[in-house]
A and B are shown apart, each in its own frame.
Chain A
Amino acid sequence: MSNKAVVYINQFFGQIGGEEAADHEPEVRDGVAGAAQAIAPNFDGEIVKTVICGDNYMSSNQDKAVAKILGELEDVDFDIFFAGPAFQAGRYGNACGAIGKAVKEEFNVPVVSSMNVENPGVDMFKKHIYIFPGGHSAAKMRDDAKKMAEFGNKLLNEEGPFLAEEEGFYKRGIRHQYFLPDETPAADRAIDMLLKKINGEEYQSELPIPEQDLVEIAPAIQDLSSTKIALVTSGGIVPVENPDKIQSASATRWGKYNIAGQDKLENRASNKYKTIHAGYDPAAADADPNRVVPLDALRKYQEEGRIGEIHDYFYSTVGTGTTEGEAARMGAEIAGELLEANVQAVILTST
């Protein structure tokens, strides 16, 4: 029985149109369409469906688009899902990652994509799907698609162990133990590394420590009585209906909620605020959201004149499983708003 693949491409590579067609709703066509042809020659099997979706449609209606595609694939028999290649196109990369992750979770099939290292989709989705380094533009279509197809063949033929360093896909932060084929014992590896380090030769640490991007602690504020303070949290406190649909883990979204004139945050039982954070027991935060976003205490300080002002909005996202890249982006976006509102200090609560 030959292997069956489904390929996802955007409106441009689906030959529907360029930017003017970016709102194209997802459709699933039989067989190979558009740039899915680039995968076909190197894939040992059959491309049974091609999914085409506008980049804008996917980014502004992601849940809807994903649900529609998953629905249409439900009765399709396939063994692997290819998305892209997406090159350096940010929205396309995001779309490939989002649909790829959803397909993997829903149908438990491997998902392979390709993106340029500059594509923000790499950091967002490399943990969830296999992403190969790709070119900047469609000039690299043939090479990038070939890598995807060939790795797809290996996956389906179970020609493991599929190490990042051997296959070439972006490292995903997924580390497992591995028996060295040459059985070099740890003592020999340690001595070898030591001698190389002593002699200034190149060596490979078996546990590379990720670069740390540490932020210097700001100097203390001398006079808080005239300071405007904002509350920001990664503890997932949101209005009970979670209007911004912030994810309970691995968040990519944040929300801001008006607290002007409120003495404190009312709780879940009052149908006002709750936590959607999946990384801690929500009971205490649901009973009293002020323990995560301490508006009640801050209002008292304000009454007593110890602080100047409280910003009219608090900002919230979820910190569990959230990638550093996403956290930094959300932090920069929130900081931009706070600076615009002349906020001078932030109380950032984690959980």
Chain B
Amino acid sequence: MKLEIGNFHVEDIRFGDSTEFNDGILTINKDEALQVVKEDRHITDADIKIVKPGDQVRLVPVKEAIEPRYRMDEGPLFPGVTGNLQQVGDGMTVALKGTSVLVVGKHWGGFQDGLIDMAGEGAKYTYFSQLKNIVLVADTDEEFEKREQQKKNKALRWAGMRLAEYIGRSVSNQDPDEIEEFELDPITKRDTDTSELPGVVLVMQPQTQMEEDGYNALNYGWNANHMLPTLMHPNEVLDGAMISGSFMPCSSKWSTYDFQNFNLIKRLYEEHGETVNFLGVIMSNLNVALEQKERSAQFVANIASNLGAEAAIVAEEGYGNPDADYIACLVALEDAGIKTVGVSNEATGRDGESQPLVSLDPKADALVSTGNVSELIKLPPMETVIGELEALARDGLSGGWEDDEELGSSVKEDGSIVMENNSMFCGDGVAGWSTKTMKEF
């Protein structure tokens, strides 16, 4: 399978008469773009804004991030989600780099939504502060969940995907600045030099703990709660097979952008043929019942064993209850004789004194920690807020609160905020971005 991603480096983004890309400048025809957004009648109100690193802008509640792309065979960007099912990971997809479509609620947020500061102290907490972002800020008529803490955010997330594809189309008839190639021969057809290197699998545990449809990560449109762990080609993940769910506390979230650019996959590709033989991705999930957790761990270890994997990396989207899935998977792999490294965040509490993971096992002896979900963060007011600042306090965001005995509300009258890292949009960068670790103080 050979995937080519044709990259166009975006130097600047503006509004203009037509949506086009010239010499690094992305121009967007706002009216046309909004028509694409409003193809769904559930979108009642929408606007598009452009924010860049250094802008004195705070975005909240942020629901999703998607890299603008276009599939050169004209197939849907997210098969099974935004269009018919088709195989991805082979062929050419073009991408606008250094930018993302951010989806922000005009008013209403929820547990799974987050915050991004584009400048100042807060900018260091999320990867998306470093991108030039096309911000869709919109409202919907999804009355049933307006005041629910858990939101499916369906209309907004799907509008974001349409918008990303619409913008991606602007470069479909141009030569990219560079082409990234992702190619792996079938596992049994690799040259001797590669086959003799230690075989490595990447085990991904996207968030799938909601029983009801609409909240979980989707695999080619299929609720990943309803699947057993399966072998996937890493190119499929990079090329739109997976979309983010709408459930997890936000710093733990893997946005769709994260799947499209999964740093751990890219790093394993770099090592492939040099230090390791990258066998592929075992797409697992996260479950609620103990037997489901154990079943998934067993499937992962068995697939890895039968692929002849010598080593594995396990990445967990979430914390708390799913730590049990994470540790069970690490232990199952170690028990199968596979040398395993885990990547996840921790939850040590505001005082740093709580047990870092819900479940611990001495066999999990090689862990990368990407942050503390409950770290307290205080940030000054920002000139401009896109969305609604009050959502952080009012709507049950995982790192915000209406009242706290010591700290009061998360949102102060002057626009300054106090929050837990929990609500930093994809802040713990488990996909591999995080420059944070955990230390003993």
A-to-B contact residues, CB < 8 Å: 127, 161-165, 171-180, 183-191, 193-195, 197-198, 203, 205-207, 209-212
Question: Is A206 in contact with B368, judged by CB distance below 8 angstroms?
Answer: yes
Question: Which residues of chain A come closer than 8 Å to B433, judged between CB atoms?
Answer: 185-187
Query: Shortest CB–CB separation between residue B313 and chain A, in angstroms?
Result: 5
- A171, A177, A180, A187: the one contacting B267 at CB < 8 Å is A187
A186 to B360, CA, bound (A): 20
Query: Shortest CB–CB separation between residue A39 and chain B, in angstroms?
Result: 23
Question: Is B430 in contact with A186, judged by CB distance below 8 angstroms?
Answer: yes
A195 to B351, CA, bound (A): 34
Q: Which residue of B lies closest to A184 (CB)?
A: B435
With A174-B352, A176-B375, A193-B368 known to touch, is A164 a contact of B440 (CB < 8 Å)? yes
A187, A203, A206, A210, most chain B CB atoms within 10 A: A187
A190 to B429, CA, bound (A): 13
Question: Is B365 in contact with A205, judged by CB distance below 8 angstroms?
Answer: yes
Question: Which residues of chain B come closer than 8 Å to A211, judged between CB atoms?
Answer: 362
Q: Is B302 an interface residue (CB 8 A)?
A: no
Query: Shortest CB–CB separation between residue B31 and chain A, in angstroms?
Result: 39
Question: Which residues of chain A come closer than 8 Å to B352, judged between CB atoms?
Answer: 174-176
Question: Which residues of chain A come closer than 8 Å to B364, judged between CB atoms?
Answer: 207, 209
- B341, B346, B441: the one contacting A197 at CB < 8 Å is B341
Q: Is B53 an interface residue (CB 8 A)?
A: no
4 closest A-B pairs by CB: A187-B432, A164-B440, A187-B263, A207-B367
Question: Is B429 in contact with A185, judged by CB distance below 8 angstroms?
Answer: yes
Question: Which residues of chain A come closer than 8 Å to B368, judged between CB atoms?
Answer: 186, 189-190, 193, 206
Q: Which residue of A lies closest to B311 (CB)?
A: A198
A154 to B58, CA, bound (A): 36
- Other than the given A179-B436, A189-B368, 7 more pairs (CB < 8 A) read A174-B352, A175-B440, A176-B372, A185-B429, A186-B434, A191-B267, A193-B368
B371, B421, B439, most chain A CB atoms within 10 A: B439
Give the size of the chain B interface in residues (CB under 8 angstroms): 51
Q: Which residue of B lies closest to A206 (CB)?
A: B369
A161 to B433, CA, bound (A): 23
Question: Is B372 in contact with A194, judged by CB distance below 8 angstroms?
Answer: no
Question: Is B366 in contact with A194, judged by CB distance below 8 angstroms?
Answer: yes
Question: Which residues of chain B come closer than 8 Å to A162, judged between CB atoms?
Answer: 441
A198 to B353, CA, bound (A): 32
Question: Is A178 in contact with B353, judged by CB distance below 8 angstroms?
Answer: no
Question: Which residues of chain A come closer than 8 Å to B429, judged between CB atoms?
Answer: 185-186
A211 to B362, CA, bound (A): 7
17 contacts between A and B (CB under 8 A): A161-B439, A161-B441, A163-B439, A173-B353, A174-B441, A175-B346, A175-B440, A176-B348, A176-B441, A178-B439, A185-B433, A186-B433, A187-B266, A194-B366, A195-B276, A198-B198, A205-B365
Question: Which residues of chain A come closer than 8 Å to B311, judged between CB atoms?
Answer: 194, 197-198
Q: Is B36 an interface residue (CB 8 A)?
A: no
With A193-B366, A193-B368, A194-B200 known to touch, is A207 a contact of B346 (CB < 8 Å)? yes
Query: Shortest CB–CB separation between residue B398 and chain A, in angstroms?
Result: 16
Question: Is B436 in contact with A198, judged by CB distance below 8 angstroms?
Answer: no
Q: Is B339 an interface residue (CB 8 A)?
A: yes
Question: Is B339 in contact with A197, judged by CB distance below 8 angstroms?
Answer: yes
Q: Which residue of B lies closest to A194 (CB)?
A: B341
Q: Is B29 an interface residue (CB 8 A)?
A: no
Query: Shortest CB–CB separation between residue A110 and chain B, in angstroms?
Result: 12
A193 to B264, CA, bound (A): 13
Question: Which residues of chain B come closer than 8 Å to A184, judged between CB atoms?
Answer: 435
Residues B113-147 near A (CB distance < 8 A): 124
Question: Which residues of chain A come closer than 8 Å to B361, judged between CB atoms?
Answer: 209
Query: Shortest CB–CB separation between residue A38 and chain B, in angstroms?
Result: 27
Question: Which residues of chain B come closer than 8 Å to A190, judged between CB atoms?
Answer: 264, 267, 313, 341, 343, 368, 432
Query: Shortest CB–CB separation between residue A322 and chain B, in angstroms?
Result: 13
Question: Which residues of chain B come closer than 8 Å to A197, judged between CB atoms?
Answer: 311, 339, 341, 366
Query: Shortest CB–CB separation between residue A308 and chain B, in angstroms?
Result: 37
With A193-B341, A194-B339, A212-B362 known to touch, is A163 a contact of B441 (CB < 8 Å)? yes
Q: Is B84 an interface residue (CB 8 A)?
A: no
Question: Is B267 in contact with A175, judged by CB distance below 8 angstroms?
Answer: no
The contact string, 1 if C-beta is below 8 Å from chain A, for chain B 257-268, is 000000110111
A183 to B433, CA, bound (A): 10
Query: Shortest CB–CB separation between residue B133 and chain A, in angstroms?
Result: 20
Question: Which residues of chain A come closer than 8 Å to B375, judged between CB atoms?
Answer: 176-177
Question: Which residues of chain B come closer than 8 Å to A203, judged between CB atoms?
Answer: 366
Query: Shortest CB–CB separation between residue B317 and chain A, in angstroms?
Result: 13
Question: Is A205 in contact with B366, judged by CB distance below 8 angstroms?
Answer: yes
Question: Which residues of chain B come closer than 8 Å to A172, judged between CB atoms?
Answer: 440-441
Question: Is A207 in contact with B438, judged by CB distance below 8 angstroms?
Answer: yes
Question: Is B437 in contact with A189, judged by CB distance below 8 angstroms?
Answer: yes
A171, A183, A205, most chain B CB atoms within 10 A: A205
Residues B279-327 near A (CB distance < 8 A): 310-311, 313
Query: Shortest CB–CB separation between residue B72 and chain A, in angstroms?
Result: 27
Question: Is B432 in contact with A186, judged by CB distance below 8 angstroms?
Answer: yes
Question: Which residues of chain A come closer than 8 Å to B200, judged between CB atoms?
Answer: 194
Query: Shortest CB–CB separation between residue A220 and chain B, in angstroms?
Result: 24
Query: Shortest CB–CB separation between residue A40 and chain B, in angstroms?
Result: 28
Question: Is B351 in contact with A174, judged by CB distance below 8 angstroms?
Answer: yes
Q: Is B155 an interface residue (CB 8 A)?
A: no
Query: Shortest CB–CB separation between residue A126 and chain B, in angstroms?
Result: 11
Q: Which residue of B lies closest to A161 (CB)?
A: B441
Q: Is B271 an interface residue (CB 8 A)?
A: yes
Question: Which residues of chain B come closer than 8 Å to A176, judged between CB atoms?
Answer: 348, 352, 372, 375, 438-439, 441
Question: Which residues of chain B come closer than 8 Å to A127, judged between CB atoms?
Answer: 353
Q: Is B86 an interface residue (CB 8 A)?
A: no
Question: Is A178 in contact with B367, judged by CB distance below 8 angstroms?
Answer: no
Q: Is B275 an interface residue (CB 8 A)?
A: yes
Q: Which residue of B lies closest to A187 (CB)?
A: B432
- A171, A198, A207: the one contacting B369 at CB < 8 Å is A207
Q: Which residue of A lies closest to B327 (CB)?
A: A209
Question: Is B271 in contact with A191, judged by CB distance below 8 angstroms?
Answer: yes
Question: Which residues of chain B come closer than 8 Å to A198, judged between CB atoms?
Answer: 198, 276, 310-311, 339
With A175-B439, A175-B440, A176-B441 known to touch, is A205 a contact of B434 (CB < 8 Å)? no
A162, A191, A210, most chain B CB atoms within 10 A: A191
Query: Shortest CB–CB separation between residue B57 and chain A, in angstroms?
Result: 22
Question: Which residues of chain A come closer than 8 Å to B266, judged between CB atoms?
Answer: 187
Q: Which residue of A lies closest to B270 (CB)?
A: A191
Residues B409-441 near A (CB distance < 8 A): 421, 429-441
A176 to B429, CA, bound (A): 16
Question: Which residues of chain A come closer than 8 Å to B263, judged between CB atoms?
Answer: 185-187
Q: Is B100 an interface residue (CB 8 A)?
A: no
Question: Which residues of chain A come closer than 8 Å to B365, judged between CB atoms?
Answer: 205, 209
Question: Which residues of chain A come closer than 8 Å to B360, judged between CB atoms?
Answer: 209-210, 212
Question: Which residues of chain A come closer than 8 Å to B208, judged between CB atoms?
Answer: none
Query: Shortest CB–CB separation between residue B237 and chain A, in angstroms?
Result: 14
B200, B267, B348, B368, most chain A CB atoms within 10 A: B368
